[in-house]
Amino acid sequence: MIKVVIIGAGNVAGHLYQSFKKTEQINVIQVFNRNIDKIDFTDRSTRKSSNFDEIEDAALYILAVKDEAIPEVANNLTSKNGLVVHTSGSVTLDSLSKFENHGVFYPLQSFSKNKPVDFSGIPICIEANSEKNLGLLKEVASFLSKKVFEVNSDQRKALHLSAVFVNNFSNHLFTIAADYCREHDLPFEILQPLIRETVSKIDSLPPFSAQTGPALRNDQKTIDEHLSMLDGDRKKIYELITHSIQNLHGKKL
C-alpha cells in the first residue's frame, strides 16, 4: 500500500480522504492541520496531528490547503524524501522546488462540504519534476479517477481560468436569472430543466455549434426589448455578452 499524508482539513482534503479510504492501494496514515479540531472526517485508522515535527514518513504528501497557505506549509515542512504535491489550479510546480521530489495533483472540480463526491469522473491534472514522480502520481490518481491528464503549469492556469468562466460565471448568470424570476413571482425551478438541457446539449455538440438565441439570430427587436427590461450590471452583462456572441459568430451589430 502507498502511504499518504494529507495536509489540510478543507473540502478537498476531506473528499480526497474519503475517496482514498475506498481504495485498497492507498493508506492515508495521517492527516495534518494547524487546527486539529477541524479534522472531522477521519476514522480511527488515521492519526491526526497539528505539529509539523510529528509528520510521519510517507511516499506522498498532499498539501490540500488554500493557495496562499502553500508557501507557509512548504516552509514548515522539513525536507522529506517522499513526493510533496499541492492541489491548486493556479500555483506553479516551482513553488514546491525546495523538495527534491515535488509535483501537482489538481482535481478539476468544485467541492462542497456536505455533498458526497464520486472521484471516478473527476479529471485529475498531474505534473511532477521527474518521470518517476509523475509515474507515482499517475498511479495514485488512477486509483481514484478514470480521467487522469498530464498538464503543465501554464495549461493548469488556463484550465483554472476556464473553470472560472464555466463554473463561477455561469453560476452568477443563474443567480441573476433566479433573482429576476423572483422579482416577477416566478419560481426558479421553472428554469431548471432548461439549464439542464443547456449542459446536456454540449455532451454531443461543441458549445459553439449549440449557440442559439436573439444575439446569434441578430434579432435586434428582442435584444432592444430585453435591454429595456434591465438596468445596472444586468444590462451591462446583457449588452456585453450579446456583443461578444455576435463578434465571435461573425455577425457584427
Whichever of 29 and 230 has its CB closer to a second copy, that residue is 230
Whichever of 29 and 163 has its CB closer to a second copy, that residue is 163
**DSSP labels, 121-180:** GS-EEEEESSHHHHHHHHHHHHHH-S-EEE--HHHHHHHHHHHIIIIIIHHHHHHHHHHH
- From 18, 13, 10, select the one nearest 85 (Cα to Cα): 13
For a second copy (CB under 8 A), the number of binding residues is: 90
Considering only residues 186 to 225 of the shown chain, the ones binding a second copy according to CB under 8 A are: 186, 188, 190-199, 201-208, 210-216, 219, 221-222, 225
Give min distance, CB of 67 to a second copy, in A.
7
Whichever of 93 and 210 has its CB closer to a second copy, that residue is 210
Considering only residues 8 to 47 of the shown chain, the ones binding a second copy according to CB under 8 A are: none
> What is the pattern of x (binds a second copy, CB under 8 A) and - over residues 161-180?
xxxxxxxxxxxxxxxxxxxx
C-alpha cell of residue 176 = 441573476
Are 85 and 102 in contact, with CB atoms under 8 Å apart? yes
Place of cell 455576435: 246
Give min distance, CB of 9 to a second copy, in A.
18
List the one residue from 185, 231, 250, 252 that touches a second copy (CB under 8 A). 185
Q: 207-211: long-range contacts at Cβ-Cβ below 8 A with a sequence spacing of 24 or more? A: 208/248, 208/249, 211/245, 211/249
Place of cell 478539476: 108
> What is the pattern of x (binds a second copy, CB under 8 A) and - over residues 230-249?
x--xx-xxx-xx-xxx-xx-
Give min distance, CB of 46 to a second copy, in A.
27
Whichever of 31 and 91 has its CB closer to a second copy, that residue is 91
Considering only residues 42 to 101 of the shown chain, the ones binding a second copy according to CB under 8 A are: 67-68, 90
C-alpha cell of residue 248 = 465571435
